[in-house]
Amino acid sequence: MFKTLKAVLLAAACVPALASAQDLDTMSPAELYELAKTEKTVTVFSLSSRIARVEKAFEEAYPGVDLVGIDLSSAKQIARVEAEQQAGVYAVDVLYMADAPVVLRDLLAKGRVHTYVPPRVADQIEDRFKAPLLVHRLSTKVLMYNEQAYPDGSPITNLWQLTLPEWSGRVMMVDPTQRGELLDLLTVIALHPDEMAAAYKAQFGSDITVDSDLTGAGEQFIRNLFLNDLVLVSNSDDLNKAVGTKDATNPPVGFGTYSDRRDNEDEGWALQVANNVEPANGILFPAVLAVADKAPSPAAARLLIDFMFGDDSADGGAAFAPFNVPGDYATRSTIADDPDSVPLEGLKAWTIDTEAVAANRARIADLIITLQ
C-alpha cells in the first residue's frame, strides 16, 4: 500500500514539470535556467571550435549547468544524429551546423531536429532567418588571397581568371565531396549561369560556348576549374597555411572562410578576402541552431540557444564574442558587425537559396565526381 501511494505521489509531482516542458518555447531565460539547473548538463555539437569559448561564458553566466561542446563538422553531425536516432539513442541537445540544404531534407523534414526561436530576440531577427531553420549568423566560402604577397589587392578580379594557365595548380579548395559548404558553393555558381556567362565575356571578349552535356556557364566554369588542376585539400587549416603564410613566394589563392582571417596574427598568416571579383567571390551561407529531437536537456538546450544570440550590447557581449569577427555576420539586428569586416551589403558574395541548392546539389555532386 505504501509503495502504491508513493508511486501516485511521485507521478503527481511530475505533472507540473511535464506541463512546463510543453511551454518551454515561450519561457524567459530565467524560467529556463530554473529547469536547466535540474537537468545539470547540455550537450552541443558545433561546426566551430569556438564553442569552447561559448562554454566558458555560458557556465559563468549559468552556474550549475555544465556545457559539453563537441567540435564536429556539419556532415558528421548529420550522419551521427541520423545513426543515433535510428538506434533509439538521443544523446545531444543542440546542433550548431551549416549544410542547411541537407539539414532541411534529412533532419528537419524527418523530425530529427526542431526549430526554436528565443522569444527574447525574436523581434530582432528577420523572418527569413527564423524559419524553416533558425540562423545564428551568416558565414562564408569566398576567394581568399595572401595580402602580403599581393599588397595592391587580389590578383583575381574575375572568377574565370582561375581557369587560366597561369593559375593551373594554384587554386585551392577543401574537397567538396567531404565538406558540404564547398559543394554548396559550386552549386550556387552553377545556379548563376547568366552572371557567369557575362563574366566570361568580360574576361575573354567573346560569348561562352558550353559543352553539350552541361547546363549553363556556371557548370562550364566548374569543369574548367577542375581541368585547370584545382588542388583539393582535406581541411581548412591546410588551405589557410598554403594561401596565407607570410613570406610565401607566389602563393596560391583558395576558396576559404573569410572569418579565418581572425587567426592571422596567431598563425603567421596574411589572409585577406578577394572582394572585387566578378561576378561574385563566393557565397554567404547560414550557420543554424536547432534543438535535437528528444533532447535529454530540453530547457538547457533552449537556454543555450538564447545565450548564443548575445546580450543587449552593441557587440553581443561575451556570449557572441567568439563570432563577432571580420567575415561573420550576426542575424540579430542589434549586433554590429566587426568594424574590420567588409560591410555585409558590400560583400560581393551570393547568399545561398537553401531550397534551390537542396534541389540541385546532387546533380553538381555527380558532375564533380566525374572531374576528380
- pLDDT tens track, the chain, 372 positions: 333 333 333 333 333 344 344 589 999 999 999 999 999 999 999 999 999 999 999 999 999 999 999 999 998 999 999 999 999 999 999 999 999 999 999 999 999 999 999 999 999 999 999 999 999 999 999 999 999 999 999 999 999 999 999 999 999 999 999 889 999 999 999 999 999 999 999 999 999 999 999 999 999 999 999 999 999 999 999 999 999 999 999 999 999 999 999 999 999 999 999 999 999 999 999 999 999 999 999 999 999 999 999 999 999 999 999 999 999 999 999 999 999 899 999 999 999 999 899 999 999 999 999 998
Q: What is the pLDDT of residue 18?
A: 41
DSSP of 169-221, one letter per residue?
T-EEEE-TTT-HHHHHHHHHHHT-HHHHHHHHHHHHSS-----TTS-HHHHHH
SS percent in the chain: helix, strand, coil, step 5: 45, 20, 35
What pTM was computed for the model?
0.86
Q: C-alpha cell of 95? A: 546542433
Q: What is the pLDDT of residue 22?
A: 53
State the amino acid at position 187 in one-letter form.
T
What CATH number does the domain located at 140-284+350-371 have?
A: 3.40.190.10
The structural domains of the chain, with segments of one domain joined by +, span 20-138+285-342, 140-284+350-371
Q: Which CATH number fits domain 20-138+285-342: 3.30.70.600, 3.30.1360.80, 3.30.559.10, 3.40.190.10?
A: 3.40.190.10
What distance lies between CA 341 and its chain's CA centroid?
17
